[in-house]
Amino acid sequence: METMKRTTNCGALRRADEGKTVILNGWVHRKRDHGGISFINLRDRYGITQVVVDSDAPAELAALIAELRNEFCIALEGTVRSRPDSMVNPEMATGEIEVVAKKLVILNRSEVLPFQIDEESEVKEELRLTYRYLDLRSAGMQRRIKLRNEVSFAVREWMIGQGFYEIETPTFIKSTPEGARDYLVPSRLYPGKFYALPQSPQLYKQILMVAGFDKYFQIARCYRDEDARGDRQPEFTQIDIEMSFVNRDDILSMTEGLMGHIFKKTLGQELPPRFKRLSYEEAMERYGSDKPDLRFDMPMQDFGPYVAEGSFQAFKDALAAGEADKAAAAARGISLAGGGVKVLVVPGKADYSRKQIEELEAQAKIYRAKGLAWMKVAGTETESILEGGIAKFFGDRAQKITAGLGAKPGDLLLLVADSQRKIANVALGSVRSKLGRDLGLNGPGPDGVPRFEFAWIVDFPLFEFNDQENRWEAAHHMFSWPQDKYHATLEQDPGSVKGDLYDLVLNGYELASGSIRIHDSELQKRIFKIVGLDPLEAEQKFGFLTEAFKYGAPPHGGIAPGLDRLVMLMAGETSIKEVIAFPKNSFAVSPMDDCPGEVDQKQLDELHLAVVLPPRTE
């Protein structure tokens, strides 16, 4: 191979370089001929430089130029010259100059491309993933992978600066019953035994606190064998963090500092030094979600106080049924919230058509609402009128209701009632989210800069009652610290217990989850017991953690922001596949290398395994 090593890159040359002889290496991005002159846009990671082959170029060079097609990889020697003012391209960093070609070596040819580079949005995902090496050449993928790299480094820079150690935890661990399904790795040396891949380094980071490392982090690969759904990947990356001798607020402010550094360093955006904090209950009551998009407010309100004054029987029935369920549950020692009627005031949307409202109702029904009631506000600010929908049941209370809700003439009221308050909240909350998207309330600010609205959700319930299995289960996971005031009465009313858990929410996505952990073996055993985990099984599965806690475990807690999702949101994308170099498709398959795939029988034999194919269904 004739070597013509680059002396500079395709993004570096400026007018000041005029007259220099340079060698560039890169790819033919575009080539066009114009009156006997060839123009080649030569591309590498650093930029694009225009190369000109004059009409009087030597025959040998001209012949090579004629061969060039898009994405040929070439080495090119030439002289830098300024473009005439009229030809300067202000959109290219190198737009003031061009390179007059003198010599060319074709380093590698390219076959006809399955799609043009930089047309990613036009190309089907499956094709993009099959030819990921071409897809990754696009400006968008190059920019996003670069951003991911910058975010990862900003994380490390800040964490190390704060005295954290990055410590690698094992990928081969013991299978535990916690959370989703484990991916397993059969052991060849121990027939019938398996390693599991970690769903997160949870137990190991707690062990590191027991070991006295005080401040740990790791950008860690995690694995969950879940059914293909939405944007899930078999493997994903989280910024795993744990600290000793801290309380909840220490973790929160550390995370605020980390996010502030990342956004400042990579996007040049200032975040507020402290993020909003909402209790789980507040978030559910106001936004019907524990991950509300706060780029707009438009909160839900309680319509309950007006129900008795009106004459709409369905609302009254929902509340009465809720009260009955609550009383029945109370008799079994379980606290329920009762029923609820929630209302959303949509400013200025009294002009919504019946069809538009029906679309919103369909959204509400996905989340188990029985229907979406509505009224429109008319009249004046001091003498409002309710019209349409269920207005007739509340007509004589219009002014009181609109004043109470802060609704103005021209506003649309949307209502959901249910005997389970949570259903009313979640269903109407999903209507709020849809409206946010439909009305563009979640777009960039007036200056066109994307908005990043962080919030903390705190005070989560520690336990949820599983109706099907008729038992309490951990709402989050079993190692979270019940807030101190509930310790005495844990077993008496598990449903009321709040934990020191917290979620970090960004633009409607859950970005991070964390908690203060239980460091006390006795308290941990009580939790295991409440969720019905047999002490023997707990010992067998988590034995090494409970064992470790016998030797002076410190109080500790942590959090784990998802790196894929963080970078996705920063890049303004809606799929994590856009920020992963080699993602699997939505069916956990990599079309590029066709994996998962068959393996040799010899490999199975060595692993002491036989495949048991499921019966074929016709």
221 forms part of the interface with its own copies (CB under 8 A):
yes
Positions in 89-148 near its own copies (CB under 8 A)? 107-111, 113, 131-134, 136-137, 142, 145-146, 148
**Contact status: 567 vs its own copies (CB under 8 A):** no
β-sheet bridge partners, residue 279: 458
State yes or no: residue 192 binds its own copies (CB under 8 A): yes
Choices 243-251, 256-264, 276-284, 433-441; region in contact with its own copies by CB under 8 A:
243-251
Residue indicated by tokens 């066009």:
32
* Minimum gap (Å) between residue 571 Cβ and its own copies: 15
- Contact, 65 vs 15, CB < 8 A? no
173 binds its own copies (CB under 8 A): yes
Segment interacting with its own copies, rule: CB under 8 A, options 237-245, 299-307, 316-324, 470-478 = 237-245
Q: How far is the CB of 344 from its own copies (least distance, A)?
A: 40
Q: Is 562 one of the annotated binding-site residues? A: yes
Residue at token pair 């939405």 = 230
Binding mask 67-86 for its own copies (x = CB under 8 A): ----xxx-x-----------
| Residue environment code for 61-72, b if the CB has 16+ CB neighbours within 10 A, otherwise e | bbebbeebebbb
Does residue 497 bind its own copies (CB under 8 A)?
A: no
Of 72 and 374, nearer to its own copies (C-beta) is 72
CB of 285 to its own copies, least distance (A): 30
Q: Which two tokens stand for residue 546?
A: 């409970």
Structure tokens at 314: 């369905």
Stretch that binds its own copies, among 56-64, 210-218, 291-299, 396-404 (CB under 8 A): 210-218
Quick one: 17 or 44, whose CB is closer to its own copies? 44
Closest CB 58 distance from its own copies, rounded Å: 24
Measured CA angle at 530 (ends 525, 532), to 5 deg:
95
Nearest to 367 by CA among 306, 436, 431: 431
Q: How far apart are CA 502 and CA 616, in angstroms?
A: 46
To the question of whether residue 226 is assigned a binding role by annotation, the answer is yes
Asked if residue 489 binds its own copies (CB under 8 A), the reply is no
Residue 582 is a binding residue for its own copies (CB under 8 A): yes
Beta bridge partners of 49: 42
Single residue of 88, 184, 327, 362 touching its own copies by CB under 8 A: 184
229 interacts with its own copies by CB under 8 A = no
* Segment interacting with its own copies (CB under 8 A) among 188-196, 381-389, 390-398, 415-423: 188-196
Size of the site for its own copies (CB under 8 A): 126
Whether residue 126 is annotated as binding a ligand: the answer is no
Residues 41-70 that bind its own copies (CB under 8 A): 43-46
Q: With CA atoms as reference, report the closest residue to 138 among 156, 115, 154, 157.
A: 115
Task: Choose which of 36, 170, 179, 535 interacts with its own copies (CB under 8 A).
Answer: 170
Q: d(Cα 532, Cα 538) in Å, to the nearest integer?
A: 10
Task: State which of positions 247-306 bind its own copies (CB under 8 A).
Answer: 247
Bridge partners (DSSP) listed for residue 558 = 242, 515
With CB under 8 A as the contact rule, which of the stretches 256-264, 292-300, 332-340, 603-611 interacts with its own copies? 603-611
Least Å distance, CB 128 to its own copies, is 12
The CB density around residue 225, as the number of other CB atoms within 10 Å, is 14
Encoded tokens for 304: 């309950």
Binders of its own copies among residues 583 to 602 (CB under 8 A) are: 584, 587-590, 592-599
**Please, what's the b/e burial string for 178-197 (b: 16 or more CB within 10 A of its CB; e: otherwise)?**
beeebbeebeeeeeeeebbb
Stretch that binds its own copies, among 88-96, 215-223, 348-356, 395-403 (CB under 8 A): 215-223
What contacts 489, CB < 8 A, 6 or more positions away?
Answer: 497
Output b/e per residue, 412-444; b: 16+ Cβ within 10 A: bbbbbbbbbbebbbbbbbbbbbbbbeeeeebee
368: left (phi over 0), alpha (psi -120 to 50) or beta: left
Binding site feature residues for L-aspartate: 178, 224, 476, 517
Binding site feature residues: 178, 224-226, 233, 476, 510, 517, 562-565
